Amino acid sequence: MSLPLIELKNIEKSYDGNLILDDLNLSVKENSFVTLLGPSGCGKTTTLRIIGGFETPDKGSVLFNGQDITSMPANRRPLNTVFQKYALFTHMSIAENIAFGLRIRKKPQSYIDDKIRYALKLVNLEGFENRSVDSLSGGQQQRIAIARAIVNEPKLLLLDEPLGALDLKLRQDMQYELIRLKNELGITFIYVTHDQEEALTMSDTIVVMNKGYIQQMGTPEQIYNEPENAFVADFIGESNIVDGIMLRDELVEIFGAKFVCVDKGFGVNKPVDVVIRPEDIDLVKPEDGTLCGVVTHLIFKGVHYEMEVTTPDGFEWLVHSTDMFPVGQKVGIHVDPFDIQIMNKPESEDEEAAGVNE
């Protein structure tokens, strides 16, 4: 197996006594698209800035191709960053912006000219050389920021919420654009976002972070379908997270009703968290359901209906379905065994933050 391109080992970082990153370990393989996902303050941006060289970790080391770069200043690192607010140099033309890194490296003018043309073509902004930064839209500025970074042919591109300032439509266009760029250039992307949809759409690997810990790392499918704890389940998509008791392998009791599932190894009569996605709940006739409830809310969402079903114990189940059940109707709840995700209950808050996979 080849060495990881970038590796973080036992990284610890705190500001003013607040621990931001606690014993963080992460390794990123060459040519992958890794997304650091989490709510604000989870430490994802700090992680990126440590890789970029803008922050120094209190403890731990950063390895690049096996070489320790922990104390290497930002300007010597063989990687480039695309900043959240583009950080273009407003007193320079577009061409000068793109040429900045190349000029620092004292590349010949003809090389620089070729690179500018190539980069502008790559980001679909041919002919923009002499425009001023202020005359560009947000999306165009973002493309220039990317062009400015990639002309330096970095092995690794760090992107810090690059689409955060764009509107929804533009954001979706840029998502495809980024994927295309990554595939054309063949470089490794580490991408920071708090937008779970963006993460699911673009990444090979998602790293879900919370309170300075990695909660779960995996493919988008793994993260979505098999969240390892309540935080991940809650953060990725919408979920029903309920208390359950694992009666034995493959059988869990929720609100007194017994559901067949596919999970094993939790022991006998063990309290657990149970995650069921809203779209995985089938509403059936009351007599066919494992649990019974009444529809208390109904909203048409376009692709589907969003309903709330309240069961006698008072829990409101979120249900997505293309079938409509009017408010007040009694319904039965059915869930297929493989749609039930069982998780250990955290024993303390620390453990909740740290996640159960460690």
Partner 1 sequence: MKKTRFRKFLEDFYLVLTLLFLYAPIVVMMVLSFNGSKSRSQWGGFTFEWYRHMFESASIVEALYNTLLIAFLSALIATVLGTAAALGIGSMKKVTKSVYMGVNNIPMLNSDIVTGISLMLMFIAFGVSLGFKTILLAHISFNVPYVLLSVMPKLKQTSRSTYEAALDLGAEPVTAFFKVVFPDIMPGVLSGFLMAFTMSLDDFIITHFTRGAGINTLSTLIYSEVRRGIRPTMYALSTVIFVTVLTLLLIANFSPAKHPSRSDGGAGAALTRKAPGGNSFQRFVLIAAAFLVVAGVSGVTWQHLTASASDELYVYNWGEYIDESVIDRFTEETGIQVTYDLFETNEEMYPVIEAGAVRYDVVCPSDYMIQRMAENELLAEINFDNVPNIANIGPEYMEWSRAFDPDNLYSVPYTWGTVGIIYNTKRIEELGVPAPTKWADLWDERYAGEILMQDSVRDAFTVALKRLGYSLNSTDPAELREAADLLLAQKPLVQAYVVDQVRDKMLNGEAAVGVIYSGELLYLREEAEALGLDYELEYVVPEEGTNIWIDSWVIPYNARNKENAEKWINFLCRPDIAKKNFEYITYATPNFAARWILDEDQRRDPDVFPDLTQMTNSEVYRYLGTEAEDRYNELWKEIKAQ
Residues of this chain that bind partner 1 (CB under 8 A) = 52-54, 73-76, 80-81, 83-85, 87-91, 100-101, 104-105, 134, 148-149, 152
Residue 183: partners with Cβ closer than 8 Å, 6 or more residues away: none
CB of 72 to partner 1, least distance (A): 12
CA atoms within 13 A on the CB side of 252: 30
CB of 47 to partner 1, least distance (A): 16
For 155-186, b/e burial (b = at least 16 CB within 10 A) is: bbbbbbbbbeebeeebbeebbebbeebbeeee
Nearer to partner 1, 75 or 322 (CB): 75
Nearer to partner 1, 52 or 212 (CB): 52
Residue 139: partners with Cβ closer than 8 Å, 6 or more residues away: 166, 170, 173, 174
CB of 62 to partner 1, least distance (A): 15
Nearer to partner 1, 163 or 246 (CB): 163
> Looking at this protein, which amino acid is placed at residue 86?
Y
DSSP state of 331: E
Helix (H, G, I), strand (E, B) or coil at 267: coil
Nearer to partner 1, 80 or 311 (CB): 80
Nearer to partner 1, 81 or 240 (CB): 81
CB of 92 to partner 1, least distance (A): 8
CB of 147 to partner 1, least distance (A): 12
Radius of gyration of the chain (CA): 24
Nearer to partner 1, 149 or 340 (CB): 149
Q: Is the dihedral of CA 257, 258, 262, 268 positive or negative?
A: positive
Nearer to partner 1, 105 or 297 (CB): 105
Residue 75, both tokens: 């300007």
Q: Answer for the pair 231, 37: CB distance below 8 angstroms, yes or no.
A: no
- Rounded Cα gap, residues 240 and 274, in angstroms: 8
CB of 105 to partner 1, least distance (A): 6
Instruction: Name the one residue in this structure whose structure tokens are 């912006």.
Output: 97
CB of 80 to partner 1, least distance (A): 6
Q: Answer for the pair 112, 105: CB distance below 8 angstroms, yes or no.
A: no
